[in-house]
Amino acid sequence: MRDLLAIPIILLAVVLQSSIVSRVPLLSGIADLPLVILAAWALQEGVDTAWHWAISAGLLVGFVSGVPILVPLIAYLFVVMLARLIQRRVWQAPLLAMFGITLIGTLFMHIFSLGALRLAGAPLPIVDTLGLLTLPSILLNMLLAIPVYAVMRDLARWMHPAPEFE
């Protein structure tokens, strides 16, 4: 039953992203709250619903946004996959892993969005886009990473309490 919590949390994250986070730009970049939440969630031990969260977030963001729906869906699934891979290797430094996933995930999301929108005919200059959108967005996502990781860690401990050994 607690797994269903993904839906209201992702819904809230997308609403916050659209109504608040998108209105706080740095240069032309904005933070990606669902991406950071997914990265933090997928890094938690005992969490096996990260894929569902990624699909929910991808569909919701694709529905709200003007970018093709496959872009956020694939990008968020990639973030979860990356987090799963890194979690097994860098499990002793979760914050480092969080920063790494946020950096690579944001880069992937932006490069993928850029490619998809250019294919759709939007004249987006690559250098300007990377300088004015991607770098500020990475910085903002990094700033969000620490508090979001702390919140998601508490949530994961509540949803998946560690077994007690006698």
Residues near another protein (CB under 8 A): 14-15, 17-19, 21-23, 25, 27-30, 32, 34, 61, 64-67, 72, 110, 113-114, 117, 120-125, 128-129, 132-133, 137
Closer CB to another protein, 18 or 49, in the complex: 18
Q: Name the 3-class secondary structure at 66.
A: coil
Of the candidates 149, 135, 148, 107, the residue with the CA atom closest to the CA atom of residue 30: 135
Closer CB to another protein, 4 or 70, in the complex: 70
Residue 29 pairs in a beta bridge with 26
At residue 121, φ and ψ (nearest 5 deg) are 110, 0
Closer CB to another protein, 32 or 97, in the complex: 32
From the CB of residue 81, how many other CB atoms can be counted at a distance below 10 Å?
14
Smallest gap from residue 29 Cβ to another protein (A): 5
Closer CB to another protein, 86 or 145, in the complex: 145
From the CB of residue 148, how many other CB atoms can be counted at a distance below 10 Å?
23
Rounded (5°) CA angle 78-89-83: 20
Closer CB to another protein, 85 or 120, in the complex: 120
Smallest gap from residue 1 Cβ to another protein (A): 29
Smallest gap from residue 66 Cβ to another protein (A): 5
Please compute Rg for the chain using Cα positions: 16
Smallest gap from residue 117 Cβ to another protein (A): 6
Smallest gap from residue 118 Cβ to another protein (A): 10
Of the candidates 48, 33, 56, 40, the residue with the CA atom closest to the CA atom of residue 109: 33
